[in-house]
Chain A
Amino acid sequence: DAKTTQPNSMESNEEEPVHLPCNHSTISGTDYIHWYRQLPSQGPEYVIHGLTSNVNNRMASLAIAEDRKSSTLILHRATLRDAAVYYCILGRDYGGSQGNLIFGKGTKLSVKP
């Protein structure tokens, strides 16, 4: 399974944009890029996913490099509630859904008021 590389931690100020990077240089053509986050003492929750094009939803935006070897999760205005561990995961497509997700250590995002 292809691996991802993320910074261990990042800091942000409240109400400012946050760009969380992820490198996945061994990504294959059928791998989707998924982002999950885990708030303290909770289970992970889905944030966004994409294949080739940039994606937007109510939580965040996902910018995917043209060669797909890296991606960036963008939180447009960080709030204190966004303080969490963010996981970038590659999931192979199996006929309409991802294969098993492999979680790394993720990036711990701290948000300062």
Chain B
Amino acid sequence: NAGVTQTPKFQVLKTGQSMTLQCAQDMNHNSMYWYRQDPGMGLRLIYYSASEGTTDKGEVPNGYNVSRLNKREFSLRLESAAPSQTSVYFCASTSYGTGVYEQYFGPGTRLTVT
């Protein structure tokens, strides 16, 4: 099993450009999450999807959109990138309602907006 995979690993954008971060999991989990981590800080939740077909805002959703494409894939889109969105982005997944408590995290995407 690959677990949670994220692409790309690194990205540099100019202010105003758009991009989509991709996340996929092969553990048959029903819940998926997007976090961002700024330098020296803990993770903050951007959006989550409790199950296929649903998405909800987290703590810091402004400037982002998400799509739960299917059970495996959950993408994060920046429509017009800003320097304040320079961060490391982590995707995670878990199995909601099954007694599984662990969230499994991907390796992260390091995004710089200039």
Query: A interface vs B, CB < 8 Å?
Result: 32, 34, 36, 41-46, 49, 87, 91, 94-98, 100-106
Q: Which of B64-72, B78-86, B87-95 contacts A (4 or more CB under 8 A)?
A: B87-95
Q: Is B2 an interface residue (CB 8 A)?
A: no
Given contacts A104-B42, A105-B40, contact A32 B90 (CB under 8 A): no
A46 touches B102 (CB 8 A): yes
Given contacts A43-B107, A45-B105, A87-B42, contact A100 B97 (CB under 8 A): no
Segment 30-63 of B: residues with Cβ below 8 Å from A = 31, 33, 35, 40-45, 48, 58-59
Complex CA–CA separation, A97 to B94 (angstroms): 9
Report the minimal beta-carbon distance from A86 to chain B, rounded to whole angstroms.
11
8 Å CB contact of A49 from B4, B35, B40, B101: B101
Q: How many residues of B contact A (CB 8 A)?
A: 30
- Besides the contacts A95-B97, A104-B42, what 8 more A-B pairs have beta carbons closer than 8 Å? A44-B103, A45-B105, A87-B42, A96-B96, A96-B97, A97-B96, A100-B33, A103-B42
Query: What is the number of contacts between chain A and chain B, taking CB atoms within 8 Å?
Result: 62
Report the minimal beta-carbon distance from B27 to chain A, rounded to whole angstroms.
13
* Chain A hits for B90, CB < 8 A: 43-44
Complex CA–CA separation, A95 to B101 (angstroms): 11
B97 touches A44 (CB 8 A): no
* Chain A hits for B97, CB < 8 A: 94-97
Complex CA–CA separation, A94 to B48 (angstroms): 15
Complex CA–CA separation, A44 to B94 (angstroms): 13
B92 touches A105 (CB 8 A): no
* Chain B hits for A95, CB < 8 A: 97
A105 touches B42 (CB 8 A): yes
Complex CA–CA separation, A49 to B103 (angstroms): 11
B104 touches A42 (CB 8 A): no
A97 touches B98 (CB 8 A): yes
Complex CA–CA separation, A103 to B46 (angstroms): 12
A-B contact pairs, 28 of them (CB 8 A): A34-B101, A41-B108, A43-B106, A44-B43, A44-B90, A44-B92, A44-B105, A45-B105, A46-B103, A49-B102, A94-B97, A96-B96, A96-B97, A96-B98, A97-B31, A97-B97, A97-B98, A97-B101, A98-B101, A100-B45, A100-B48, A101-B43, A101-B45, A102-B45, A103-B35, A103-B44, A105-B41, A106-B42
